[in-house]
Chains A and B, each alone.
Chain A
Amino acid sequence: MPHRIRISAQDIVNIDDDKERRQAAALLASELGVFEYEPQQDRAFWDDRVHELWGMPRDQTFTYAEIMATTHPDDRALVEQKYLDVLDPNGHRHFDHEYRILPRDGSPMRWIHAKADCKFIGNTPVRLVGTMQDVTKRRTAEARAIVLVDELEHRVKNTLASVISLAALSSRGHSDLDTFIDGFKDRLHSLAHAHDWLRVNDWQPLEMKRLLEEQVGNLFGGHTTPITTEGPDTLLEAHHVPTFSMALHELLTNALKYGALSDKGGEISFTTSTSDTQIEIEWREKLNSPLATPVTRKGFGRFLLTQILPSELSGKADLEYAVDGLRFTLTYPHKRT
């Protein structure tokens, strides 16, 4: 025979107590505030959390007009429309909306999510009861995500546009497809590395000599090179980094093929200097044995160094092919602020 359990009236009261306590604790944990509104009396009753959200004094009731005055002006019309709908016996009888409020105590704007059901007697709305939650954090994160996606899309499109331009400008004068493709791939790799450093550095300005070191590392791995750097640290704005990196890549590959890094042997010095108004950069190659005639070259590298890079930095550049090695100088003004 099964064991009989006796439940006293007191036990039932305790269970009810537990239920209420549980609900209250859950409400507290959920960060939900509870509100009630009586349309016929135009009175709103709020719990402490809702009062806090709206920055309104506690232990008071509020009217519809007072609530609307605290609602963000841009969101009022829609809130009003949804509110009229929930009070309409032929409407949805349910309110579920996120909107902005400007707390009366001067706290910063908040996003709230309000959900409520309306009770009717016949066709008369008598009681609107529901919850409110502060969803500012989520809305801010969502807004930021939208900005980031837009920014990412812009960068992708701009990078693709750069690659198209690079292909168009660097293919000129090339008759041998294989050589062009090899050079083009190297240029794209250097561009890709520039983007890596920008990302690692969170799109903040980058130090020029470090860019050179990175490009050298990219081309030569851990091998030592006869390249020395001098002068003060010089920061480059993030949006100039891709072009500057490509310019360094052109200088390095040129030196590797024809200059101080080729089998001719020699040294390279990279010097930065700054004055109050401008920044100067010098790339100087010194060949071990001077050439009979200086090597002059035309092509994308030259165009990038003497035209594209100085224009981008609003400066001037000079590329000089001397018998003892190439010399490239770039002078540009400090960023205007």
Chain B
Amino acid sequence: MSVLFIALPVALLIAGAFVGGFIYAVKTGQFDDLDTPPMRMLFDDMEVKKESKQKPAETEEDS
């Protein structure tokens, strides 16, 4: 059991380091926008999807 006296503080220090990392991430703005990054990722490797041609979608009001 006495191993706890070393293991627990070490575990807490590691946890603290991760909390520190999280705070750094928040402060550098990585959590400011949660909606765009999912759309941004991995586009360059995206599977080519063949789209059909005749698809009249709703027109945008345009004069």
Task: Determine if chain A interacts with chain B.
Answer: no
Residues of B participating in the A interface, judged by any CB pair closer than 8 Å: none
Residues of A participating in the B interface, judged by any CB pair closer than 8 Å: none
